[in-house]
Structure 1
Amino acid sequence: MKTKILITASFIFSLVACNNNNRKFDASGTFEVDEVIVSSEIPGKILSFNVHEGDSIPKNKVVGEIDAENLSLQKEQVEATIQALSEKKADVLPQVSLLQKQLAVQQSQLKNLLHEKTRFENLLKQDAATGKQVDDINAQVDVAQKQIAVTQQQINVQRNTVSTQNRSIMSAGKPLEKQVAEINDKIQKSNIVNPIAGTVITKYAEEGELTSAGKALYEIADLSEMTLRAYISGTQLSQVKLNQTVQVFVDNGADKYKEMNGIVTWISDKAEFTPKTIQTKDERANLVYAIKIKVKNDGYLKIGMYGEVSFNPKS
């Protein structure tokens, strides 16, 4: 009784397989790409969404907009609160101005007293004044000087007090300013910006729908370069090196292949069982290593297309 071996089309391991032209291949695999899922960064209604499957979109292009009216209102409210804080600031100028006028009067009085002091001291030398009169004028000068010192101190205290009060009031504005910056960042994120140049693979949302933060909107990939994921046996590891140039073959009609160059960009450092798509128990028991080969795409390659690999193009 013959055992029927079922092998699916995905990840066929053709280490010794040949085509009708007796060409031997070292490995087989399927082409894939690094796909980027673009998600919404804020919740809201999708106002516009100019994305269609198959579209080629350049990097950083704005492809849609999410309603951010509520964010604009929040921003206006916070800015109004900041403005209200400014209006609460005390103006020190009127109070300081009054004290400065008082200081000017005191300085004028001191000037007159000093003049009188000089006059009485001269009279005393001429025995035209008494010592008591000189002592009295000296006491008046001392009082005037102390009054001036007190007024100057009051001016300084007033300025410091008002400055401290104003700093306390405005310190509450710093967290509010950060709120404004955060809201501005969210408003900017209401624009749906395409992150990479590529082709839209799948579209998940439509204009007019409600979305939430983190919800996928569409999937995009750069198809100008594709990756062939293939598997090799442990005995083949010595034949493969990073940055090695290999030949990749894809079907191009009956018994024909399109030949392309590829670069080995990754070799797994861990062995795994042959993919389950190979249905026999014996085949699944074999340990293999995954490799990735970058291939420039001239438009012929498609996601999921099968490719064959030859490490030695002369074989």
Structure 2
Amino acid sequence: MKNTYLLFLITLSFTACKQEAARSDAYGNFEATTILISAEANGQLTAFPIEEGQKIKAGQFLGLVDTTLLHLQREQVRAQIGTLPAKLRNSLAEIEVLDRQQDNLERERDRVARLVEKKAATPKQFDDLNGELTVLKQRIQAVRSNTNTANGAILAEKQPMLAQMALLDEQIRRAYLYSPATGTVLTKMAQAGEMVGIGSPLFRLGQLDTMRLRAYTSSNQLQNVSLGQKVEVLVDEGQEAYRQLSGTISWIAAQAEFTPKTIQTKEDRVNLVYAFEVLVPNPEGKLKIGMPAEVNFASSSSQATNQ
């Protein structure tokens, strides 16, 4: 009986030591890079044909905010631009009349000049005609200057109108919603027919092809960690088995923190640890957000069961 009890204690002690030795180097949970997609236009969401869990590609059309008012405003500006040529002032007829008057005065002046030479007219008559010619030339110049100024002001209206059309074109473009990246729709926050505004959240996109495992390890274990290092990642598979995956360390915290409450026992949670992240490929989509996992810095682990 004593020998049996002694054998039981030895076996229990050996099992406890083996379990302690089998503990992994770090523990954590999977996260994913998410993008919150928001509306860039005001109006009714007329189309939004996506569903939660749907995989979408970068550049894929996702929805449309009503652009009716924007198109009407654009046509209004276009019509205003079309009326500008009709507003241009044409002074050619007026200048032509003044030119005829100038020709007549010049002929009369030349005739009076000949009469002055023959003493048949006075120098004053000649000077008066020259004065009238000077005034007429100034009038012609003033008409031309005023016409150019008026037409310049009318043509200057065109540039702001073109800028307004460009602004409306950009607002119309932003009313069409396209996916900025490839990923999976995690949460849909709006439905077709609802009114949305600039900045209104529409859905959250998750990039699940590569998951981020945020794990925690002690300062002693951190000495074996470096950026770009390949590590072994273990995820639960069944009651006791693990599925072995390969990951790459992409980030290491520069400051220690208390272990998160989700990690290990109460005693473990009061210890200071360092956070780090491991990028793990997820081509089959089996890894889920929040799923727990373990990390071993060594190249292999006796815990792993390759499937």
**TM-score above 0.5:** yes
Aligned pair partner of 1:157 in 118, 130, 142: 142
Offset of residue 170 of structure 1: 4.1
Deviates most, 230-239 or 46-55: 230-239
CA contact (8 A) 2:258 2:269 kept: yes
Please state if 1:77 is matched with 2:89: no
Is the CA contact (8 Å cut-off) linking 2:29 and 2:291 kept in structure 1?
yes
2:35 aligns with: 36
Alpha-carbon distance in 2 for matches of 1:293, 1:240:
11
Do structure 1's residue 305 and structure 2's residue 304 form an aligned pair? no
- Give me the TM-score of the superposition, normalised by structure 2: 0.76
TM-superposed CA distance for 1:96, in Å, is 2.9
Correspondence list, 1:275-290, <5 A: 275-278=260-263, 282-290=267-275
Matched, 1:168 2:166: no
1:178 is displaced (CA, Å) by 2.8
Which string of whole-angstrom CA distances, capped at 9 and with x for unpartnered residues, describes residues 9-30 of structure 1?
xxxxxxxx99979654211111
Whole-angstrom distance in 1 between the partners of 2:100 and 2:87: 26
Deviations 1:39-70 (A, max 9, x none): 22222222221101222211112122221212
Is the 8 Å Cα contact of residues 19 and 255 (structure 1) preserved in structure 2?
Answer: no
The structure 1 residue matched to 2:215, chosen from 230, 242, 258, is 230
Q: How does 1:235-254 map to 2 (within 5 A)?
A: 235-254=220-239
Q: Which residue of 1 aligns with 2:258?
A: 273
Hey, what's the Cα distance between the residues in 2 that align with 1:203 and 1:175? 40
Q: Measure the CA separation in 1 of the matches of 2:176 and 2:224.
A: 49
Question: Is it true that 1:296 corresponds to 2:295 in the alignment?
Answer: no
Equivalent-residue separation in structure 2 for 1:159 and 1:152 (angstroms)? 11
Q: Give identity over the alignment, percent.
A: 36
Cα distance 1:200–1:113, how it changes in 2: closer, same or farther (>3 A)?
Answer: same
Q: Which amino acid aligns with 1:54?
A: G
Query: Residue 243 of structure 1: CA displacement?
Result: 1.9
| C-alpha distance in structure 2 between counterparts of 1:262 and 1:145, whole Å | 100
Rate the CA distance shift 1:164–1:311 in 2: closer, same or farther, 3 A.
same
Equivalent runs, 1:82-93 vs 2, <5 Å: 82-84=81-83, 86-93=85-92
Equivalent residue number for residue 44 of structure 2: 45
Residues 39, 201 of structure 2: 8 Å contact kept = yes
Q: 1:37, 1:220 within 8 Å by CA — same for their partners in 2? A: yes
- What are the ranges of 5 or more consecutive residues in structure 1 without an aligned counterpart? 1-16, 121-129
Asked if 1 retains the 8 angstrom alpha-carbon contact of 2:232 and 2:300, the reply is: no
- Tell me the SS of whatever aligns to 1:263: strand
Q: Classify the secondary structure of the residue corresponding to 1:186.
A: helix
Unaligned runs of 5+ in 2: 1-15, 302-307
143-152 or 131-140, which moves further after superposition?
131-140
Cα-to-partner distance string for 1:148-172 (whole Å, 9 max, x where unaligned): 6554443333222222223334444
Report Cα offsets for 1:211-241 as digits up to 9, x if no partner: 2322222221222111111112223332222
Matched with 1:125 is none
TM score, norm. by length of structure 1:
0.75
Map 1:113-152 → 2, pairs under 5 A = 133=119, 140=126, 150-152=135-137
> Residue 98 of structure 1 corresponds to which residue in structure 2?
97
